[in-house]
């Protein structure tokens, strides 16, 4: 059973450093990992060593270079000032936003991720991130105010396993945007993985090819990816394989008026099709 801070011995409790607390918990998928298809499960996936390793996976400097100013340009072109980063993770985009002079609030449902993001904010430029622990499905309960933009990046929306949760989440995002607000969601190109068979299930290399992500199992209701790190440690994520047009339809049905979808090319391994799609949805 996971220990609470109260359970620690006095020695341990002397310096309950975040990295220490974060590293304690391990990923749990139970006896049949392929049956784990639940929106709540992400809190058991972004834990322990994986959170620490995540920044190796998405090496900040390389990510900064490959991503360029795409998101920043989209926001600036719309005169955005306030941004709610709903999938903060380890804080990459929140820090980027603060550097660019936006007002940012950083939300996530994983306390371990938020702890790491806060640390990273201090480390990369001395920023004090305004972190809020919130699950998207009840976002309005825990985050207040209205924002010019909401970003949900790094293939995060894929963690929702039921249509009901996806609709509820999009409705919560919609409600937290100003009347002319914009929502930006990105996603892996699952159409290609689902339709083009094994050939498209290539290994995605990150961080100078030191870290790999590859589909371990895929069907219409589950994309299970395996992440392998240079020290041979392995972690998994169970995700729902979102089809591009399905996401666009949901956004339209929730009320977004204009949805532009871009293909990007930020992965190092290419086979013609973009690896990621970015949906930019306007409320007005
Ligand atoms: N945006 C970051 C990036 O690009 O590096 C993190 C991406 S990570 C793949 C997905 C993040 O979404 C995790 O930090 C996870 O905790 C969060 N998340 C997943 N489902 C969530 C939910 N229902 N509510 C709030 N956060 C959620």
CA distance 134 to 116: 16
Nearest to 185 by CA among 198, 196, 174: 174
Residue corresponding to tokens 């985009």: 93
Pocket test for ligand 1, best of 42, 45, 120, 132 (most atoms within 8 A of CB): 42
Give residue 191's Cα distance to chain centre. Answer: 19
CA distance 88 to 215: 24
Is a pLDDT exceeding 50 seen at residue 48?
Answer: yes
36-50, 107-121, 133-147, 168-182: least confident range: 36-50
Is a pLDDT exceeding 70 seen at residue 275?
Answer: yes
4-13, 85-94, 137-146, 255-264: least confident range: 4-13
Asked whether 74 lines ligand 1 (CB < 6 A), one says: no
Asked whether 87 lines ligand 1 (CB < 6 A), one says: yes
| Residue 83 near residue 75 (C-beta atoms within 8 A) | yes
- Residue 263 sits at φ, ψ, to 5 deg, of -100, 140
Asked whether 109 lines ligand 1 (CB < 6 A), one says: yes
Q: Which two tokens stand for residue 84?
A: 């709610």
Asked whether 91 lines ligand 1 (CB < 6 A), one says: no
Q: What is the pLDDT of residues 179-199, one digit of tens each?
A: 999 999 999 999 988 988 655
- In this prediction, residue 2 carries a pLDDT of 38
Nearest to 259 by CA among 194, 170, 190, 178: 170
**How far is ligand 1, taken at its centre, from the CA of residue 156, in Å?**
5
Report the atom number in ligand 1 closest to the C-alpha of 113. Answer: 14
Once rounded to an integer, what is the mean pLDDT over residues 15-25?
50
């Amino acid at each position: 059973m996971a220990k609470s801070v109260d359970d620690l011995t006095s020695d341990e409790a002397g310096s309950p450093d975040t990295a220490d607390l974060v590293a304690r918990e391990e990923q749990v998928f139970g006896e049949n990992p392929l049956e784990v298809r639940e929106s709540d499960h992400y809190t058991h996936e972004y834990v322990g060593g994986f959170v620490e390793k995540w920044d190796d996976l998405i090496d900040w400097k390389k990510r900064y270079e490959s991503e360029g100013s795409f998101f920043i340009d989209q926001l600036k072109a719309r005169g955005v000032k306030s941004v709610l980063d709903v999938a903060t993770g380890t804080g990459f985009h929140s820090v980027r936003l603060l550097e660019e002079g936006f007002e940012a609030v950083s939300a996530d449902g994983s306390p371990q991720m938020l702890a790491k993001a806060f640390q990273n904010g201090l480390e990369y430029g001395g920023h004090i991130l305004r972190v809020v622990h919130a699950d998207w499905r009840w976002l309005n309960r825990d985050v207040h105010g209205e924002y010019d933009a909401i970003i949900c990046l790094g293939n995060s929306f894929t963690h929702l396993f039921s249509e009901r949760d996806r609709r509820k989440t999009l409705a919560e995002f919609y409600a937290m945007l100003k009347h002319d607000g914009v929502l930006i969601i990105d996603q892996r190109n699952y159409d290609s993985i689902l339709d083009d068979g094994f050939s498209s299930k290539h290994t995605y290399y990150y961080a100078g090819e030191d870290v790999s992500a590859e589909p371990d199992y895929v069907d219409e209701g589950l994309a299970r990816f395996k992440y392998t790190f240079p020290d041979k440690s392995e972690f998994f994520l169970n995700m729902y394989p979102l089809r591009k047009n399905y996401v666009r339809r949901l956004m339209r049905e929730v009320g977004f008026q204009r949805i532009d979808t871009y293909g990007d090319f930020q992965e190092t391994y290419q086979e013609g099709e973009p690896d990621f799609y970015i949906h930019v949805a306007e409320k007005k």
